[in-house]
Chain A
Amino acid sequence: MLATLVAIALVVQDQAPLRASPQDSSPRQATLWQGEWLEVRGERQGFLQVYDHRRERPGYVRATQVRVYSLDETSVPRLQAVMEFVKETPGAEALGIGHAAALLRAAKASQVGPEFFAALGTMADRLARRATSNRTNDTALAAHLDVAASYGVKLLGFEREGRTRVCYDGEAFRRVLALGGGAESRLQAALSLTRPECIDPALGPVELHALHTWRRSVLEQVDASALPPYLANRLHLRRAEVEATLAYQFSRRGEPQRGSEAAERSVDVLARVSKAELAEEDREAYAVAAVRVGASRAASAHDTPPPSSGPRLAWTPGQPGETCLRLEEAGDGRRVLFERCTYGLVWPASSRRSAQGTAVTVAVQMLEGWTELWVFHQEDGEWRLDTLAPGAVEPSLGYVELAGFSPDGSRILVTREVVSEGRVKSSFQVLKRDTLAPERSAGRPEAIGSFQRWSSADWRERTVSLR
């Protein structure tokens, strides 16, 4: 039906009244919002006689409150200019989306390229961000969302951490990736499509794995070498996050080789981030990505030969999904000193033993971004197991890793990094071996002299906390 229209009017002002007759005193039939589409049927006394197909209602609207376009190729440059102008204008998303819809109708197929979809996606994405931010004075938001929805721009809402997050489903960005486009457009599309906060929290592990695999394939479609360094950093950060997540998932699904490869790739990609070129707004994302990589770092560790003397760790599968860790004496007797089963992912290659053989640690990844350090230690001839968690917060994102033992074996050095209330907290601690109570703690390793002296070269080589 719309294709047969001669001229359309796009509302450019919020709360423009649609009146019953061409007079300002006549009753208001409806309130129009910017970006709405009206069919023009005539003009009377400074008013346009229009028909609102959405509300199925005719009426009059002030000619100054709308812009009239004919739906043919003559309007394309004007529509393009308006769209380019409002593309980066906050609050004018609905207007831009309306113009994009008109442009799509008026232009020939050959005139619609990836740039068009990039602009449309940018506006839809910004509208979603605007809907997520809880600004109370944004009265036009609901109406703008409504206008965008009427043009088929789909915005999805998720409940996350007690608040609703609105996300764009990324249809336009998918088209950008399909049609080609410049490196920056592709990067923007890929970053928008793979946004971690827009992952549905209700997804199960199987769907999540499929989603992360898809995210990896999307990010691989962007060429980092064609981007300026600060934008390339964003791509590297996102890729590091995705690879770290996949490292856990592959290992969990019984594909340790692929998991190890993904973990190595995540470290490699994180190392590509140029800190000198890191934009200020990306610093937090850099820290979060590093925590995520640190949590899956153990997946890439290579097996070390078991010690010839002293206690050593062995592991056997228990119930489905369960791993049973057994601390046993070396030698032929193999007396079991301690045993514990866990549903977490045990990284046997991360197992370390103090020089005196009084403490053995191993990394256990409970969730895809949550790695604990299990410490087997000997007290009064008895072995016991204590768990070091990244922090006393809801398990979401964080890791603890062993940084070394004191020369006498009475102290354990650990690094903890955890995301709490949206911020990354790093701490470098010296713990007493018997109680695991922190003796000294600091935000930087240089602040503790003993930490500096006793931390192992092995840890310095593989950690991402010293970034």
Chain B
Amino acid sequence: MSDETRNEQQRDEQQRSEERKQHEPKRGEALRKAWGLMGETARGVVSRIRWLVYAPRGRRVMGGFIVTGVVAGVVAAQPVCTIEPGEVGVRVNRLTGSVSELPEGWSLLVPHVHRLSRYSLKDQTFRPERSARATGPAPFQSMEGLSIGIEVNIRYVLDPGKIGALSARLPENVGEDIVEPLIDGVLRRHFAQHSVREIFSTHRVRIQKDLTEELAPLLAADGVLLRSVTLGNVDLPAQYRAGMETLLAEELNTEKMRYTLELKDKQVKQSALEAEADKVRREKAAEAAGSEEIIAAKAKAEAMRHILPFKEKEIEQRRLEAEAAKVSRLTLATAEADAHRIQAAGEADARRKIAESDAYRLEITGKASSEQLARDAELISRNPLLIQKTLADKLSDKIQVIIAPPQSGGFIAGNLLGPAGSAPSAALATTGAPGGEE
């Protein structure tokens, strides 16, 4: 400590002791004055009280005071309370310790005897705002020890049936004093059992379900009914979030690929099914076409069957016609043969007759010839030159024979006939056309 500072302290103490020495005689005088004033005041008060009691005006004033005081007391103590809709009141008698539930509306409340607690029966929500951000005052911790912010929304309501029993031991602000710490503890424990990734993406629903299952009986023991637990936005540390998003994007890609493959697989299956349907359709169409062809063929065969008897009849008719033709031809041939035979017989007869007639003719002719010969002989014997003429006739009708008179005294057939000196010479000449005879 420096010397200057020490000097300043000493100076301050001296100053204070001087001031104390100056004030001591003034204090005694003031006490006396105060005592005098107090005596006057006491006397004044007594006189006023006497005035209030004995004077009529004083009594009116006192009555006024009393009424004012009573009204002020009632206003200050509030012996009637109002229970709003959606609330329940619990009135505890401090003297007897009895508890009664107050319905909606007005109820009497004796000051200093009754104590009233109000509980809301409406749904209440608890959102731990302090843990909503990773950078907030009280973030949750994940299994890896990372701070994460999670928006949790828990909806609960007080069990109206248990309020009477629980009001004795529960604080008035159940939400703040009981429910919220309890939920907070459970949330922290649960989140600490899961990794960030699980909380962020994969196990969210499961966590939500586990929380509900654990919180519901815990809160029910305190007369609180849990309506729902909802997990909202998960706030990650910025760097972790970037990495996580990349990872998730990768996963998403993988997932996408899986779905793409599934889609392709389904497309393949669809194509196969369509091809199958097409095949069946074509088979059906082919079957229908086949059956149509079969029906057409059957109809044609049936028509053919109807034609066949006619064809057969036609063939039979042709056969009959052929037979008839054959018979007619045979008859014709027979008739012709017969005709020929008859003709031949006729001819034979005719020839025989002719032969016979010829023979007869020959005979007659012979007879006639012999008679002729006899006559000729007789004639020749009478006319010898007739032989030459006959000979010339027989030589030919186309040869002109000139029988000249024998120049050397002889007949041309003299050699045959020998000398015929006695034969008369004759001159015969044949001239002219055939048949012509001279």
Task: Name A residues whose Cβ lies closer than 8 Å to a Cβ of B.
Answer: 204-206, 252-253, 320-322, 342-345, 366-367, 370, 372, 387, 389, 391-395
Closest Cβ neighbor of A372 among chain B residues:
B306
Tell me whether B299 and A366 are in contact (CB under 8 A).
yes
Residues in A neighbouring B76, C-beta threshold 8 A: none
Q: Which residues of B contact A367 (CB under 8 A)?
A: 296, 299-300, 303
Q: Which residues of B contact A253 (CB under 8 A)?
A: 292
Task: Tell me the number of A-to-B contacts counted with CB atoms below 8 Å.
Answer: 64
A206 touches B292 (CB 8 A): yes
**Which residues of A are found within 8 Å of B311, using beta-carbon distances?**
392
The docked-state distance in angstroms from the alpha carbon of A387 to that of B305 is 10
Expressed in whole angstroms, the minimum distance between the Cβ of A140 and any Cβ of chain B is 41
B293 touches A395 (CB 8 A): no
Q: Which residue of B lies closest to A395 (CB)?
A: B303
Contact of A321 among B289, B291, B310 (CB under 8 A): B291
Q: How far is the CB of A310 from chain B (nearest CB, A)?
A: 26
Contact B291 A392 (CB under 8 A): no
CA distance A391 to B292 in the complex (A): 25
Instruction: Tell me, yes or no, whether B333 is within 8 Å of chain A by CB.
Output: no
Known pairs A205-B293, A206-B289; A321 contacts B298 (CB<8 A) = yes
A252-B292, A321-B299, A367-B296 known; 16 new pairs, CB 8 Å cut-off, are A205-B289, A206-B285, A206-B288, A252-B295, A321-B295, A321-B298, A342-B299, A343-B295, A343-B302, A344-B302, A366-B306, A387-B306, A392-B307, A392-B311, A392-B313, A392-B314
Q: Does B294 reach chain A (CB closer than 8 Å)?
A: yes
Query: What's the dominant secondary structure at chain A's contact region?
Result: loop
Q: Does B304 lie at the interface of the complex (its beta carbon under 8 Å from any beta carbon of A)?
A: yes
Smallest beta-carbon distance B290→chain A, Å? 8
Report B-chain residues with C-beta under 8 Å of the C-beta of A342. 299, 302
Q: Per-residue 0/1 for B139-172: is the Cβ within 8 Å of any A Cβ (1 yes, 0 no)?
A: 0000000000000000000000000000000000
Give Cα A219 to B295, complex, Å: 29
The complex places the Cα of A367 from the Cα of B297 at a distance, in Å, of: 9
Within the complex, what minimum Cβ distance (angstroms) separates A397 from chain B?
12
Question: Which residue of B285, B288, B299, B310 is within 8 Å of A343 (Cβ)?
Answer: B299
Q: A205-B296, A343-B298, A389-B310 are in contact. Are A366 and B303 (CB under 8 A)?
A: yes
Interface of chain B: mostly helix, strand, loop or mixed: helix
Contact A204 B289, beta carbon cutoff 8 Å: yes
Inter-chain contact A392/B292, CB cutoff 8 Å: no
Once the chains bind, are B304 and A395 in contact (CB under 8 Å)? yes
Closest A residue by C-beta to B313: A392
Residue of B298, B304, B307, B310 contacting most chain A CB atoms (<10 Å): B307
Neighbouring A residues of B289 by C-beta, 8 Å = 204-206
B221, chain A: closest CB distance, angstroms? 78
A204–B293 CB distance below 8 A: yes
How far is it, in angstroms, between the C-alpha of A389 and the C-alpha of B303 when the chains are bound? 8
Question: Shortest beta-carbon distance, A376 to chain B, in Å?
Answer: 15
Q: Which residues of B contact A343 (CB under 8 A)?
A: 295, 298-299, 302
User: What are the residues of chain A within 8 A of B314 when measuring CB–CB?
Assistant: 392
Most chain B CB neighbours (cut-off 10 Å) among A320, A345, A392, A394:
A392
The complex places the Cα of A342 from the Cα of B293 at a distance, in Å, of 15
Give the shortest distance, in Å, between A321 (CB) and chain B (any CB): 3
Distance to closest chain B CB from A336 (angstroms): 21
9 contacts between A and B (CB under 8 A): A205-B289, A206-B285, A206-B289, A206-B292, A320-B291, A342-B299, A344-B303, A367-B303, A370-B303
- B411: min CB distance to chain A, Å: 86
Hey, which chain B residues are within 8 Å of A392, CB to CB?
307, 310-311, 313-314
Q: How far is the CB of A441 from chain B (nearest CB, A)?
A: 14
Min CB–CB distance B296 → chain A (angstroms): 5
Report chain B residues within 8 Å CB of A320.
Answer: 291, 295
B244 vs chain A, min Cβ distance (A) = 65
A395 touches B288 (CB 8 A): no
**How many angstroms between the C-alpha atoms of A322 and B292 in the bound complex?**
11
B292 touches A205 (CB 8 A): yes
Whether B292 lies near A389 (C-beta < 8 A) is no
CA distance A343 to B302 in the complex (A): 7
- Give the 5 A-B residue pairs with the shortest CB-CB distance, closest first: A321-B295, A392-B310, A366-B303, A343-B298, A395-B303
Q: Which residues of B lie under 8 Å from residue A345 when comparing CB positions?
A: 299
| Residues 298-349 of B contacting A (Cβ, < 8 Å) | 298-300, 302-304, 306-307, 310-311, 313-314
List B contacts of A321 (CB < 8 A).
Answer: 291-292, 294-295, 298-299
Please give, as numbers and ranges, the residues of chain B lying within 8 Å of A394 by CB-CB distance: 304, 307
Q: Which of A206, A252, A366 contacts B302 (CB 8 A)?
A: A366
Known: A321-B298, A343-B299, A367-B300. A389 touches B307 (CB 8 A): yes
Distance, CA A341 to CA B250, complexed state (A): 74
User: Which residues from A are CB-within-8-Å of B288?
Assistant: 206
Neighbouring B residues of A206 by C-beta, 8 Å: 285, 288-289, 292
Name the contact of B303 in the complex, choosing from A204, A322, A372 (C-beta under 8 A): A372
| A395 touching B300, Cβ below 8 Å | yes
CA distance A387 to B288 in the complex (A): 29
Q: B296: which A residues are within 8 A, CB to CB? A: 205, 367
Complex alpha-carbon distance, A185 and B285, angstroms: 38
By a CB distance below 8 angstroms, the chain B residues around A372 are 303, 306
Specify which chain B residues have a CB less than 8 angstroms from the CB of A366 in the assembled complex: 299-300, 302-303, 306
Cα distance A393–B306 in the bound complex, in angstroms: 11
- The docked-state distance in angstroms from the alpha carbon of A391 to that of B303 is 11
- A207 and chain B: residue at smallest CB distance: B289
Give, as a whole number of angstroms, the nearest-CB distance from A291 to chain B.
15
B428 to chain A, nearest CB (A): 81
How far is A394 from B306 in the complex, measured between Cα atoms in Å?
Answer: 11
Task: Return chain A residues, CB-CB under 8 Å to B291.
Answer: 320-321
Q: How far is the CA of A309 from the CA of B306 in the complex (A)?
A: 30
Complex CA distance for A391 and B288, rounded to whole angstroms: 31
Task: Among B288, B299, B300, find the residue whose CB has the most chain A CB atoms closer than 10 A.
Answer: B299
| Inter-subunit contact B292/A344 (CB<8 Å) | no
B71 to chain A, nearest CB (A): 104
Chain A min CB distance to B340 (Å): 42
Q: Please give me the residue from chain B that is nearest to A366 by CB atom.
A: B303
CB-contacts of B245-301 with A (<8 A): 285, 288-289, 291-296, 298-300
Do the beta carbons of A204 and B298 come within 8 Å of each other?
no
Chain A, Cβ-Cβ closest to B290: A204
Closest to A206 in B: B289
**Quick one: closest B residue to A393, CB to CB?**
B307
CB A266 to nearest CB in B, in angstroms, measures 20
Docked complex Cα distance between A309 and B361 (Å): 99
Q: Which of A252, A320, A370, A395 has the most CB of B within 10 A?
A: A395
Report the minimal beta-carbon distance from B298 to chain A, rounded to whole angstroms: 4
Cα separation A342 to B301 with both chains bound (whole Å)? 11
Q: Nearest A residue to B305 by beta-carbon distance?
A: A387
In the complex, the chain B residue whose C-beta lies closest to that of A374 is: B306
Given the complex of chains A and B, what is the CA–CA distance between A393 and B298 in angstroms? 17
CB-defined contacts of A344 to chain B, threshold 8 Å: 299, 302-303
Cβ < 8 Å to A, chain B residues 43-99: none
B286 to chain A, nearest CB (A): 9
A94 to B184 CA separation, bound complex (whole angstroms): 102
Determine the distance from Cα of A347 to Cα of B356 in the docked complex, in whole angstroms.
88
Q: How far is it, in angstroms, between the C-alpha of A321 and the C-alpha of B295 when the chains are bound?
A: 6
Taken together as a complex, chains A and B put the C-alpha atoms of A204 and B293 apart, in Å, by 6
Once bound together, how far apart are the Cα atoms of A366 and B291, in whole Å?
A: 16
The winner among B289, B300, B302, B306 for most chain A CB atoms within 10 A is B306
Closest to A321 in B: B295
B294: chain A residues within 8 A (beta carbon): 321
User: How far is it, in angstroms, between the C-alpha of A366 and the C-alpha of B314 when the chains are bound?
Assistant: 22
Nearest CB in chain A to that of B311: its residue: A392
Q: A391 to chain B: which residues have CB within 8 Å? A: 310
User: From residue B185, how far is it (CB to closest CB) to chain A in Å?
Assistant: 80
Which residues of chain A are within 8 angstroms of B292 by Cβ–Cβ distance?
A: 204-206, 252-253, 321
